[in-house]
Amino acid sequence: MTEKREERSTLQGTVTKITYQDPEGHYTVARLEIDGTQGVTVVGEIFPIDEGEEIRVSGFWKVHPRYGLQFQAERWEKLEPATLEGIQRYLGSGLIKGIGSTYARRLVSAFGLDTLRVLSEEPHRLQEVEGIGEIRAKRILRAWEEQKGLREVMVFLQGHGVGSSLALKIYRAFGSETVAKVKENPYCLAREVYGVGFILADRIAATMKISGDFPLRVQAGLLHVLRKFSDEGHCFVPLALLKNNASTLLGVEEEAIESAIKKLAAEREIVLEEPSGEGTTRVYPQELYQAECRVASALRKLLSVTSCLKDKGTKDKRLNDRGTVATALAKDEGNKGYPNLLDPSNLDLFNPSAFLLEEEQREAVLRALQEKVLVITGGPGTGKTTLLTALLALLRSSKVSFALAAPTGRAAKRMGETAGEEAKTIHRLLEYNPRDRRFERGESNPLGVDVVIIDEASMVDLQLIDHLLRAVEPHSHLILLGDVDQLPSVGPGSVLRDLIDSGVVPVVVLRRIFRQARESLIVSNAHRILEGQSLLFAHEREKRDFVFIARESEDEILETLKELIKERIPRSLHVDAKQSSGVVQVLAPMHRGLLGTVHLNQELQKLLNPDGESVERGRSLLRLNDKVMQLRNNYDKGVFNGDLGRVVGIDKEEEELRVDFDGRSIPYAFDELDEISLAYATSIHKSQGSEYPVVVIPLHTSHYLMLHRSILYTAVTRGKELVVLVGGKTALSMAIKNVRVEQRFTALKEKLKAA
């Protein structure tokens, strides 16, 4: 880039368009309108600002070889609106609920440059404006008073480089104590306000002369590194690795880091664990250490306490007598592969109908009655659903109470449909109370059932299993169904794998693929992926539930994928392309790049939902009827990481967007929209526990960091009726050959063994 530097200049105007904002690096490209001109392009670290705000920038002019003349801002400040257009943009910016762009225009038309004074000193005059009656006037005035209360906070935060929308979110978190809290510890922003990361908090701290090895900064940096590892699924971080990452982030000496670690440990923010014989210190966030200890202890207790089923008598004592149950399940030795459990001559436990169990399924049912805790794992087509149906029939007939649950709403719905019983999310089962931010079910108010059955257990993270175990009574049974070959949970921990590897918890592995399942190429190829074998593809005249379309370049893959989504798949489903988004899911290995979820969502939104009311969110926009996903657990709203929904309402005057999640309409203030994203394409990690009629998977060598068996296996097994791979043969081969297992820093296995 060549720059044409001139003497420093100062510009003042209204931000009419934000072309680009980087919330991490703070680099912004914006259009500044000056005195009614067409505007100039201003670039620099002036993040965050909002369209409609008036700013003053100082800097110099330069010529970009591609984008032409630009103004490079070196310093900037926000101004109170002083022009009619500035006042109109200010009022219509969303800071004051009840005043959208329409009423902002009407207010300025009625009161001109006196508009802000009228709001403050003569509020009764609002009803002079067309369309503003008594109710709306009261709403506007209430919002204006709240906004006036914000003024000190906004001025303070904006003086430290925080834009109005983010400042509003901070104010909502801390209220009138905002200024005091931030002055006391600016890093509280990173810990307590979603959307404010350590980098931004550190920049604010720097304006307050907090930098270098200042203890508060080093402690915050250490906690930030620990949280980053937790976000990646780890429960602890080896001490040496933590020191190295923190030193790189903070640019300080190891001595300062060691001092901060001691301080955090003394204040019980973190826990240092010295495993015997290893010589490697583990550093845990306090809550994850306690959760890991509680889970190991609870499982050990559950395994040691006598089963409630021993006291659960029936007229034939079928559950009291292991021999009777075993004999009944094993009856018909001449047909070991398919004994008929539902033959009335066996146990008279079920309604007479054809229902057959294979031997390892019978063993799983029997062990579910014998073992207090049991893991049942197996891939697609191995009969987990059939096994569950038989077990539930047995429990119902014997008057044994049970509860069914899964980590996500979609998984719970699917479990309920296949089992013929109500299944809840684990959060609903434990009766999460968003108002008090706690689970109603726990040690003092247990679930009170004899058997708790959890499906999709590979998705259950450490903290969720911790809450669940607190609500399971010691004499009850816990059965975990899942596929250990799936990717681990999004949250910290690798619970299912740790339980299996511990050797402490009984495990049944279902390996036999049933004949009907073997006819599915989805099932066959899923198992071939695990075995490192090349995939099978159907001939034209055969049933085609698994298709590979060879395309080598990223551009070719993208165009083919768009054609599939827009034309070929909707045509085969006999539906409109817009309707197909409800049954077709694109799953990508990565977020970034031409074939990453971010760009794919932008392209698919243009294809499937190009028109309609919308609201901008950072560099993207959300439109009415868009398919969206929740990006983090929000206990207040009762929606959780990975939940899928659809935008059903946008109210620009109230600054609110509504999303329908399986029949529940959830409101989001505009400054909360960083919690959701477009979901026409999602990451494979985020698809865990979900099942879609049609799955489309782009594969390219640019995804090489994420091309391994568990990623491909998880993606393929999300498809129910059709899986389409679009990509290069080299990329597909890489994914099948790479046997990398996602390793996480967890110690649940060791704690179970040692308990």
pLDDT in tens, 460-494: 999 999 999 999 999 999 999 999 988 888 889 99
Q: Which of 252-256, 377-381, 503-507, 639-643 has the highest mean pLDDT?
A: 503-507
Q: Which residues pair with 454 in a beta bridge?
A: 405, 480
Q: Which residues pair with 549 in a beta bridge?
A: 726
Average pLDDT of every residue of the chain: 83
Higher pLDDT, 432 or 339: 432
Cβ atoms 678, 620 nearer than 8 A: yes
Cβ-proximal residues to 719 (8 Å cutoff; 6+ apart), any chain:
522, 545, 691, 692, 693, 694, 695
d(CA 92, CA 653): 8
pLDDT of residue 316 exceeding 70, the answer is no
- The amino acid that residue 575 corresponds to is V
**SS3 call for 625:** coil
The tokens describing 475, both together, are: 């004499």
Q: Which pLDDT tens digit goes with each residue over 503-553?
A: 999 999 998 887 565 678 999 899 999 899 989 886 544 557 899 999 989
* pLDDT score recorded for residue 396: 87
- The amino acid that residue 439 corresponds to is F
Helix or strand (DSSP H, E) at 668? strand 664-669
pLDDT of residue 689 exceeding 90, the answer is no
d(CA 410, CA 598): 23
pLDDT of residue 153 exceeding 70, the answer is yes
Provide the 8-state DSSP code for 680: S
* pLDDT score recorded for residue 755: 63
d(CA 315, CA 398): 9
d(CA 559, CA 254): 51
pLDDT of residue 213 exceeding 50, the answer is yes
- The amino acid that residue 320 corresponds to is N
Q: Which of 6-10, 390-394, 494-498, 582-586 has the highest mean pLDDT?
A: 494-498
Residue 173 confidence class, pLDDT cut points 50, 70, 90:
confident
Q: Which pLDDT tens digit goes with each residue over 77-92?
A: 777 666 677 677 777 7
Higher pLDDT, 261 or 119: 261
pLDDT of residue 273 exceeding 90, the answer is yes
pLDDT of residue 10 exceeding 80, the answer is yes
CA 144, 149, 155, 158 torsion: positive or negative?
Answer: negative
For residue 462, what are the CA distances in angstroms to 191, 227, 482? Answer: 21, 15, 15
d(CA 178, CA 157): 9
* pLDDT score recorded for residue 646: 94
- For the residues 16-43, what does the mean pLDDT come to? 78
- DSSP 3-state percent helix, strand, coil across the chain (nearest 5): 45, 20, 35
- For the residues 332-356, what does the mean pLDDT come to? 37
Cβ-proximal residues to 310 (8 Å cutoff; 6+ apart), any chain:
320
Sheet holding 656-661, edge to edge: 664-669, 656-661, 644-651, 627-630, 676-678
Provide the 8-state DSSP code for 114: G
d(CA 176, CA 171): 7
Q: Which residues pair with 432 in a beta bridge?
A: 439
d(CA 628, CA 492): 24
Total residue count of the chain as it appears in this document: 755
Residue 34 confidence class, pLDDT cut points 50, 70, 90:
confident
* pLDDT score recorded for residue 6: 56
* Percentage of the residues of the chain whose pLDDT score is greater than 90: 40
pLDDT of residue 272 exceeding 50, the answer is yes
Cβ atoms 723, 522 nearer than 8 A: yes
For residue 84, what are the CA distances in angstroms to 1, 17, 114, 384? Answer: 38, 18, 9, 68
Q: Which residues pair with 55 in a beta bridge?
A: 13, 78
Residues 478-487: b if buried by 16+ CB within 10 A, e if exposed: bbbbbbbbbb
d(CA 751, CA 573): 51
CA 88, 93, 94, 96 torsion: positive or negative?
Answer: negative
Question: Among the residues of 503-615, which ranges form H helices?
Answer: 515-518, 521-530, 554-563, 569-573, 577-580, 597-608
Please report where in the chains the tokens 């049942």 appear, as a residue.
376
* pLDDT score recorded for residue 164: 63
* Percentage of the residues of the chain whose pLDDT score is greater than 70: 86
Cis amide leading into 380 (omega within 30): no
Q: Which of 48, 41, 70, 71 is CA-nearest to residue 59?
A: 71
Lowest mean pLDDT among 119-123, 429-433, 585-589: 119-123
Residue 492 CA neighbour count, 13 Å, CB half = 24
Instruction: Report the Cα 568 to chain-centroid distance in Å.
Output: 30
pLDDT of residue 584 exceeding 60, the answer is yes
